[in-house]
Structure 1
Amino acid sequence: MSLIAELPNAGLLKKVADAMKDLCKDVNFDCSEKGIQVQSMDSSHVALVSLNLKESAFTDFKCERPASLGMNVDSLTKILKMTSPNDSLKIRHQVDSDVVGFQCEGTDDRISEFELKLMQIESEHMEIPEQHYKVIAKMPSSEFQKICRDLKEFGETLQLSGSKEGLKFQVKGDIGSGNVLLKPRESEKPEEKVSLTIHEPVNATFALRYLVNFSKAAPLCGSVTLGLGPDAPLLVQYDLESEDKGHLKYYLAPKIEE
């Protein structure tokens, strides 16, 4: 066996696959002794998805030698749909095998097994430069999702600006315009608070449909972190339930004004 990985709950991988499937069709799951990673651009090369599922997220993890498992994300979600969120999930792959095996075990002693054919996917590993964001915002992921969905009704381009006033989402379109201003707020519950760090004001525009896609990862984590810099891709980061299990990051290139 070159890979044996056991997740205590299949729900985590299901949420990850659901969060990626509208952006990436076929991806390589790169396995090493540190865990499982994915880096994939969407077809239009505007957005990058970066997943880091750390070894600590698994109850059992052995990877004897690094392997790249190419999978169709839609097919993976079909397999994971058959699992219950609290089933334990074992992922197995043998050296040079062209399938990856999934075994899920429920609390009712039901064991289901699936195999998924692997694909050869050409992909170049992208180095993501370390960014020093001028604006960092942390907010409830459900609120981010609602803002993106609400504003999508007004237009296609979102103007995002961070300043001392707060974080402002603005959209202008044919039917009118909308804007939402989020101000920092404290809360007993970390997933309800809004925190803003502004090193300098930043104003940038992005294609809103991508942000609506990114916001579909909301079930992964109660809060989401946005990183904004001048002429830099926007970072949208979710922890995988908790920070020590890893993260799912999206990067979105800004729209260049014509």
Structure 2
Amino acid sequence: MASLQSNSNGNLFEIKTIQAAAFRTLIEALKEILTEANLEFDHTGLKVISMDETHTVLVYLRLHSDRFNEYYCPQKHVLGINMIYLFKLIKTIGNSDILTLYLPASNPNKLGIRIENADKATTTTYLLKIFDTNVEDIQIPGLNFTSIIGLPSSDFQKICRDMNGLGDGERMEITSSGSELIFKCMGDFAEQETIISENQSNMKVTRNSKTSEIVQGVFLLKHLVLFTKCTNLCPSIEMYLKNDYPLIIRYTVANLGEVKLVLAPLRGNTIVEKTK
């Protein structure tokens, strides 16, 4: 086995970014979905592929090494991290802070976190305990989605919040029909339907099918509400829809990379049919 290489600072890997606030927002959102996750560092960047405890939601995160201000990681390292504890350490990061993550060769059982602010001339360093990893071999097949929809992330957040306020509205039905995107939800005291047309609200539909097939799925609303915690990462999202397939919602993480949140559909009938 090859010996581990450290840099001049004595670290097995060391990555630095001025986009610390975006990283904080990312972890703030992901901690609501994943209590623990394996962070995989290698020469290409930082990757997380993990499912939530219910095996209903899959998180795919990819941050590219060439998008960081500094990136040193000659060998692969997989670190088991408690996401809640990680967020507690970085939640005070401001827009002008610089974030460095590193793995000390002298203490490889802890993740180093350094937060610097040049204006205030402050440096704060943490060492976060890592746990033994149980790596799941999760394969993501390539799919040709019928509809790819782009819309403002704030609009999607508002729709999810509004429908979540209907009381016991557990499910959301999403339909892509022609140039329209339709959201439906039935709560315990009201029902809601929101239609977004392609010529409104900067919504754009790309269809990979020559047919006029209606693409539809029903999903747990509580998970979609959690997804919208990523809203502040970027002004717009991409939504990937295909009948009888999981829904994928893609957010960009500043210019560092992307996070895709994958939600399994509820099998069976539509929301309307369920009420009959």
- TM-score norm. by structure 1 comes to 0.93
Q: Who is 1:220 aligned against?
A: 233
> Are 1:112 and 2:112 counterparts?
no
| Counterpart mapping for 1:156-175 below 5 A | 156-175=170-189
Q: How many residue pairs align between the two structures? A: 251
1:47 aligned to which of 54, 57, 68: 57
Q: Kindly, what percent of the aligned residue pairs are identical?
A: 28
Can you list the C-alpha shifts for 1:61-106, whole angstroms capped at 9, x where unaligned?
0102100011100111111113223211111103471101111110
1:249 aligned to which of 257, 260, 265: 260
Counterpart amino acid of 2:199?
Answer: R
Q: Who is 2:147 aligned against?
A: 135
Q: Who is 2:40 aligned against?
A: 30
Counterpart amino acid of 1:177?
Answer: E
| Residues in 1 aligned to 2:59 and 2:96: alpha-carbon distance in whole angstroms | 26
> Are 1:182 and 2:182 counterparts?
no
| Residues in 1 aligned to 2:194 and 2:205: alpha-carbon distance in whole angstroms | 15
> Are 1:196 and 2:205 counterparts?
yes
> Contact conserved, 1:103 with 1:113, CA < 8 A, in 2?
yes
Q: Who is 2:272 aligned against?
A: none
4+ runs deviating over 3 angstroms: none
- TM-score norm. by structure 2 comes to 0.87
| Residues in 2 aligned to 1:81 and 1:153: alpha-carbon distance in whole angstroms | 27
| Residues in 2 aligned to 1:124 and 1:174: alpha-carbon distance in whole angstroms | 39
> Contact conserved, 1:29 with 1:38, CA < 8 A, in 2?
yes
| Counterpart mapping for 1:19-98 below 5 A | 19-95=29-105, 97-98=108-109
Bigger Cα Rg: 2
Unpaired runs of 5+ residues, structure 1, are 187-191
Counterpart amino acid of 2:145?
Answer: Y
| SS of residue matched to 1:143 | helix
| SS of residue matched to 1:203 | strand
Can you list the C-alpha shifts for 1:153-189, whole angstroms capped at 9, x where unaligned?
2311111100114000001132121010011136xxx
Q: Which moved more, 1:223-232 or 1:82-91?
A: 82-91
> Contact conserved, 2:18 with 2:69, CA < 8 A, in 1?
yes
| SS of residue matched to 1:2 | strand
Unpaired runs of 5+ residues, structure 2, are 1-10, 270-276
> Contact conserved, 1:27 with 1:73, CA < 8 A, in 2?
yes
Q: Who is 1:238 aligned against?
A: 251
| Residues in 2 aligned to 1:203 and 1:197: alpha-carbon distance in whole angstroms | 15
> Contact conserved, 1:91 with 1:103, CA < 8 A, in 2?
yes
> Contact conserved, 1:134 with 1:201, CA < 8 A, in 2?
no
> Are 1:209 and 2:218 counterparts?
no
| Residues in 2 aligned to 1:181 and 1:162: alpha-carbon distance in whole angstroms | 10
> Contact conserved, 2:62 with 2:258, CA < 8 A, in 1?
yes
> Contact conserved, 2:179 with 2:205, CA < 8 A, in 1?
no
